[in-house]
Each structure stands twice: as structure tokens, then as C-alpha cells.
Amino acid sequence: MNDEIQTLKPIIIKRIKKGGHDFHGGSWKVAFADFATAMMAFFLLLWLMGNTSEEERAAISGYFNDPAGVANKSGATTEIVGEGGADKAVIQIEAPDVNLPDEVELDQQQITDLAEQQELQQLEVLKLDLEELVATSDAFKDFKDQVFIDITPSGLRVQIVDKDKRPMFDSASAELKYYSKQILKGLATVLAQVPNKLSVTGHTDATPFTEREDYGNWELSADRANAARRVLNASGVSEKKIARVEGFSSSILFNKAQPYAPINRRIAIIVLKQSAVDEIEQQVLGVD
């Protein structure tokens, strides 16, 4: 359904040492990625152990008690596959000849769950990259307290909010402040590198818009979302990566207790999970 992220394509788990990082570098990020991969392999091992017989577990135990004795035997590759040709998920694990099953069938939900775990790990690394960017970039120097980054059921969300005397836009206007453009350009340097599609939404506070008779907060919030999208596109984010641009007026407040607070006026950018992209397409097309 999406050319850029295909959760049902083969998933290969391998330990690969890398010398750098796709986003901003840093040896600690490589260590974090290795840790995440190791944890996935560990839970996969637990799952495999739950699907083996007593004899097979005894053989595995013998390998760990005397690895040298078993290592001299010919190696074997265990393949975990999903049902259906193009929908197969292949996880290859090099293992000694200890009578492990050649294939273990995964149902569609298990394949989806494995892909979801992998995607969440990638979003966690992306979150670290964006937090480092906000902490170190000059573009965010005076605006660190106006940028909020978290992971939601839809994906990784970056919210840029207004603050007293530091709004993103001119009053009653969809014209971005110069520093707001710098913030969006800084985010684009990272967002342009991820394969996920993006959602851009605009939000206002509950103050009624009275500048024009035929124009209200719904129109204003949508225009501001599109203004942010244009800056992202001009800064390297492909137009094809934009899945949705919407204005929500004051229907979704950041601070429900204070509906008129400046923090409710904001732009939200979500790095969408594949499941969220699928849901958007299903809503538009009306199919499952």
C-alpha cells in the first residue's frame, strides 16, 4: 500500500556493526540500535524456545554447556516464514545443528507485530535525534521550551506551540514568523531522511476569529498547517511524503483547562506509522 514502508516484506534480523548513523552520528546511538536489535533477538529466542520439544531444548542446552563440541557439527539456518508467497516474513538465524525445526509458520498478526516492533524502535531512535537537534541547534536556541516531542499511537509527534510574546504566526495571520521558518527548516533536515509519511495539522485556541465575516478558526488553522507544509517541502521534505494536512481549529486543545492559553495555538507534525497511513487511506477510500 505504501512504496516506502512495506511491513509485509521480508524482515532480516542480522547483527551488523556500523560506523555511523543516518541522521546525526554519535557512537551512543549505534550502541542503542545494537541494544534494540539484541533485545529483539532475545525475545525471538524466547518465542522459539516456547515452540520446541523437550528433546530440542535438551540439544540447545547441550550446545550452551559444551559449545565447542557442538560447533564442530555442520551449521544450519532456521527460517521463520509467514503464510503466503509475497507476504512471507523471513527471519534468518544462524544456528548449530541441534534439531531445530526448519520452518516455523507465523500468522498475519505475528508478522504485523514483528514489523510494528521494528518500526517503534526506529521511531525511538528518531526521537533521540530530534531531541538532540533541539538541544544543540542554534535554530532552537531560544525556543526549546516551545517544542514538544513524543510518541503517540499514530507515530512520532513534534508539536511547536505559541508562547506569550513568541508566537509562531502574526496575529490573525497564516504568515510564519522568521524564527518559525528556521525551526521548521531545522526539523526538515531530519524528517527528509526518514521513509515514513507525515501528517501536518494546525490548531488554534478557543478565542473566536472575528477579523473576517467569512473566515474563522477552521480556515485559519488549515492555512497555518499548509504554511508549515510549504516550508517543509521547500526545505527538502518531498511532497509525496505528506499524507495529510488539516486544520482542527480549537477542537483539540493542548491545555483543556485553559482553552484560551497561547500553548493551544500550535503546529503538529507526526511521523506516521504504517498502520496510521493505512488507516488514512482506508478512511478516504472506504475499504478495509
Residues contacting 9, CB < 8 A, separation 6+: 89
- CB-CB contact of 265 with 160 (8 Å): no
Instruction: Look at residue 104 in the predicted model and tell me its pLDDT.
Output: 55
Q: What is the model's pTM?
A: 0.64
The CB density around residue 184, as the number of other CB atoms within 10 Å, is 27
What are residue 77's DSSP bridge partners?
Answer: 94
**Sign of CA pseudo-dihedral 60, 65, 70, 75:** positive
If you search the block for the grid coordinates 508562547, which residue do you land on?
163
Give all strands of the β-sheet with 91-96 in edge-to-edge order: 91-96, 75-82, 103-106
Cα-Cα end-to-end distance for the chain: 12
Question: Which tens digit of pLDDT belongs to each residue from 130-165?
Answer: 999 999 998 898 899 999 999 999 999 999 999 988
Query: What does the domain layout of the chain look like in residue ranges?
Result: 27-114, 137-285
Q: Which residue has the higher pLDDT, 5 or 183?
A: 183
Q: Which of 72-81, 204-213, 259-268 has the highest mean pLDDT?
A: 259-268
Cell numbers describing residue 115: 514489523
Q: How far apart are CA 288 and CA 279, in angstroms?
A: 9
What are residue 150's DSSP bridge partners?
Answer: 157
- Of the CATH numbers 3.30.1330.60, 3.40.430.10, 3.40.630.30, 3.90.79.10, which one belongs to the domain with range 137-285? 3.30.1330.60
- CB-CB contact of 90 with 10 (8 Å): yes
Instruction: Look at residue 115 in the predicted model and tell me its pLDDT.
Output: 74
Q: How far apart are CA 175 and CA 210, in angstroms?
A: 18
Question: For residue 33, what pLDDT band results from cuts at 50, 70 and 90?
Answer: confident
Tell me the DSSP string of 110-148: HHHHHHHHHHHHHHHHHHHHHHHHHHH-GGGTTTGGGEE
Question: Which tens digit of pLDDT belongs to each residue from 173-208?
Answer: 899 999 999 999 999 999 999 999 999 999 999 999
Tell me the DSSP string of 65-102: HSHHHHHTSPEEEEEEEESSSTT---EEEEEESS---S
Query: What is the chain's mean pLDDT, rounded?
Result: 79
Nearest partner of 8 among 279, 274, 197, 258, judged by Cα: 274
- Cβ-count burial 60-76 (b if 16+ within 10 Å, e if not): beebeeeeeebeeeeee
Least confident residue range of 25-39, 123-137, 138-152, 231-245: 25-39
Least confident residue range of 49-58, 78-87, 220-229: 78-87
